[in-house]
Amino acid sequence: MIIDIVKIFTASSAAFIVGMLITPAVTHYLYKHKAWKKNNVRVATDGRSAEISQRLHNDEEKKTPRMGGIVVWGSAFITIILIYLISKVFPTDVTTKLDFLSRDQTWIPLFTLMVGSLVGMIDDIMEVRGNSARKAGGLSSKKRLFVVGLISLFVAWWFFAKLGVSSVGFPFIEDINIGLWFIPFFVFVTLAVYAGGVIDGLDGLSGGVFAAMFTAYAGIAFYQQQINLAAFCALIVGGILAFLWFNIPPARFYMSETGMMGLTITLTVVAFMTDSLGGGHGVAVLPIIALPLVVTVLSVVIQLASKKFRGGKKVFQVAPLHHNFEAVGWPAYKVTMRYWIISVVVAIIGVSIALIG
């Protein structure tokens, strides 16, 4: 028990330290190469002028680099590999037990974190190099969803064919076997969580929210005795905390797609790994633990539906919801702090239901 707790804390603190150490180099590179959006968003998804978004975002004047997510996945990758190498080069009882790179618990989430993050970085590079008046460049939403769908389809097949997972757990009742439908269900959940990545829009907002979510799943995995998976979640939290250190207003950089794509796909994978595979209900509590993402997606859907079916009328001044709070007069730091508070509360509720269910 004690060594398990030490393993989890070591992973998190080591990732934080590594993140702090690599950030100066990352920052220097991003500012040297002017890795920020060259043009503000001028047209909304419905083709209308995005006047409020232009006023709130003001990317042309901020000149804050994208790709800050490199700090998160970079520190996580370096840390997990370092601990693994130390356990092999200096094999002792302690170093061997601290290693949490395992085929059954961490290979899949590490794969999705790295692949999603690298694809997201390609999108970010295209974004900062673009000069379109409509948008700064990068992959279209459809193309990004297609890529995420492909990654999730592969992982879903792996869960179903290789791990024999075909059921979903629900609190207080028996698991429901959905057979081959598990694959499209997995893909749908992944796409839904990824869509919530648009929450990355204010200094420190997404970092605090994702730190709470991964901390919650670290607790659930620990309860299920998936210690390596718990350590992996803690690893990501450590990387996010290092990112947050430099993202508190005024932000040194934004997480952007290289952070959001990897984190959202991996969050989904962790939820499924703590579900029937781990004898729990990780997927059922995902909408609770990830409530800020759910609300963010719903606000966008409601806004688009209202414009389409109500003759252009809007429900919110601007979507996603966190920008609407800005538009009505909330300071950005107040929006961020309140989202953090809500994230911690719903994470506690989600973990509680997962444990007693």
* pLDDT tens, position by position, 38-47: 665 545 555 5
pLDDT at position 54 over 60: no
Whole-angstrom distance, CA of residue 300 vs CA of residue 196: 10
Lowest mean pLDDT among 4-8, 132-136, 211-215, 234-238: 132-136
Task: Pick the more confident residue, 221 or 356.
Answer: 221
The residues facing 49 across adjacent strands are: 43
pTM score, whole prediction: 0.92
Whole-angstrom distance, CA of residue 316 vs CA of residue 299: 8
Split at pLDDT 50, 70, 90, the class of 134 is: very low
Identify which of 30-44, 238-252, 301-315 has the greatest average pLDDT: 238-252
pLDDT at position 60 over 50: no
pLDDT at 338: 96
Helices (H), 33-140: 51-57, 59-62, 69-89, 93-98, 107-129
pLDDT at 1: 80
pLDDT at position 217 over 90: yes
Split at pLDDT 50, 70, 90, the class of 201 is: confident
Domain count, the chain: 1
Q: Which residue, 101, 77, 103, is CA-closest to 88?
A: 101
Q: Which 8-state DSSP code applies to residue 73?
A: H
- Provide the residue range defining the domain that includes 193: 2-356
pLDDT at 128: 87
